Amino acid sequence: MKILLISPDIPFPHVSDRWFAIPQLSLPIIAALTPSHHHVCIAEEPRDKIPRDEQWDVVGITSMTNNIFRAYQLADDFKKRGSVVVMGGIHPSCLPDEALRHADAVVIGEAEGVWREILNDVERRSLKKTYISEKSDPLAIPIPWKPKRRLISAIIPQLVPTMTSRGCPHDCEFCSVNIVHGRVNRRLPIDRILEDVKRYRGQRLFFVDDNIGASRAFALEVFRAITPLKVRWVGEATVKFLLDEELFHAALESGLDGLFVGLESVEPGAFQEMRKLPSTISEVEEAIRRAREAGIVFHASLVFGMDSQSKLVFEHTLDFLERNAVPSISACMLTPYPGTRLFSRLEKENRILHKNWSYYDHNMICFRPLIMEPEELAERYLDFMRRIFSWPSIVRRSRGWMRSMPWVILGGNYLKHMNVPRMKRRYKAYFEWLKRSGESYGRGA
């Protein structure tokens, strides 16, 4: 069979989205699981053009919430052309009945455990509507070989995705990771990890694990195993990871270049709301200092709009980031993704403004906040973005990060500085759309 695997485009991309997209492994893994007598092609928008001029027997589409409408558009189109359409990913896993209005079958959970069954059922003409996958045995997750990965055209080809584990032990109310991957940290065998890393020696690796230090003992084993390979890598971790001297030193020895850290908020009350460590600002400051002294990039992910935050959260955050010279940040609006505990709670409180999934993208305000009205929150958020990505702030936050200066200036700040005017125009259009939506605006969907 001819099989096409698609990752759809997002509806409102920023400049930085086009240049620094986080690499993914899901489609290459599915391609590696496909028996060799089938022909497989991967199309990852916007970098790849969807090959509509060919006839495909099976079209697999993976989707998140903010690009689900594009996924549905593609699904409808390929169904009309006679293809069997299978959808998966976080959003279809959370809302399978919605996805089945556009697809022939939906995978709920991880696809590795059911993909070959799906292909067999297609050939036997006995396809089921849903395939519920248990959490995959790490031994059943193939390491995609280099030819499979070359099916994806990357803007930054030296950033190669790989992984060591799945699952995050934290239980953040807003996070949808646990819905698909669970809270149990499932680990790949060390020899399998080494086999993959060796194939990409000389290129910068991106460990896509939701928390590279979720299992301390296993992380130490991985770092010590890859140290002789002299690779460079980046990944996602917590502040606790940086505060663990033995673990952090082992990561540096193994080639650590930078960490994406879910800081979320600098206001103490938010730590309890997020159910994450650390519990004090001083620990966060110490973690940033350690990263700076080690010469690795500290990229802080921040969330605004939480119930526990004050009206002064933007002033507090700006002061903290500049005072501690945090070189690179992602400033996100709290987004209640369907399937999360946050969405369920806000829906019960009648605070969901709408269910137009295209706006569930970390930037728009899709619920009624406690701390202020949506328009005021948006205005303060935009002011924060203008100030934090202004050149004076960039200079203040760049001190002490000379080794990482190209990333700090270009990727971490300048491209996001270019996003701000577009965000202002989009907010204006968004609130006009909300008002036209009538009764649902301000009172829940």
pLDDT value, residue 156? 43
CATH number at residue 29: 3.40.50.280
Q: What pLDDT sits at residue 445? A: 37
Structural domains counted in the chain: 2
Residue 129 Cα distances to 68, 109, 269, angstroms? 18, 14, 44
The pLDDT value recorded for residue 143 is 60
Listed as ranges, residues in the chain with pLDDT below 70 are 13-23, 135-158, 178, 181-183, 269-279, 402-412, 414-415, 438-445
Residues 6+ apart with CB under 8 A from 236: 207, 208, 209, 210, 211, 212, 259, 260, 261, 262
CA–CA gap between residue 67 and residue 97 (Å, rounded): 17
Asked whether the beta carbons of 238 and 264 are under 8 A apart, the reply is no
319 located within any domain: yes
CB contact set of 111 (below 8 Å; sequence gap of 6+): 26, 30, 88, 133
Q: Per the domain annotation, does 175 fall within a domain?
A: no
Return the structure tokens found at 367: 């619920």
Match 């009350």 to its residue by tokens: 269
**What 3-state class would DSSP assign to 85?**
strand
In a domain, 375, yes or no: yes
Cα separations in angstroms, 117 against 105, 108, 111: 12, 14, 10
Distance CA 162, CA 381 (A): 34
Q: Tell me which H or E stretch contains 376.
A: helix 374-388
Cα separation of 298 and 290, whole Å? 10
Query: Domain for residue 109, yes or no?
Result: yes
pLDDT in the model for residue 115? 94
* Predicted local distance difference test score (pLDDT) of residue 128: 97
Domain hosting 79: range is: 2-134
In a domain, 407, yes or no: yes
| Structural domain includes residue 125 | yes
Strands 105-108 and 84-88, by their bridges, are parallel
How far is residue 282's CA from residue 110's CA, in Å, rounded to a whole number? 38
The pLDDT score that the predictor gives to residue 146 is 46
Burial 102-113 (b: 16+ CB within 10 A, else e): bbbbbbbbbbbb
Report pLDDT for 22.
64
Quote the mean pLDDT of the chain.
86
Last residue of a domain, one of 113, 134, 155: 134
- Contact yes or no for 89/60 (Cβ under 8 A): no
Residue finishing a domain among 77, 105, 134: 134
Beta-strand pair 165-166/186-187: antiparallel
Q: Domain end: 134, 160, 176, which one?
A: 134
Task: Judge whether 394 and 417 are in contact, CB under 8 Å.
Answer: yes
191, part of any domain: no
Query: 258 CB contacts (<8 Å, ≥6 apart)?
Result: 234, 296, 297, 298, 299, 404, 407
Asked if residues 154 and 44 have their Cβ atoms less than 8 Å apart, the reply is no
**H/E stretch holding 264:** strand 256-264
Residue 65 belongs to a domain: yes
Strand order in the sheet with 232-237: 159-162, 204-207, 232-237, 256-264, 297-304, 328-333
- The predicted model scores a pTM of 0.88
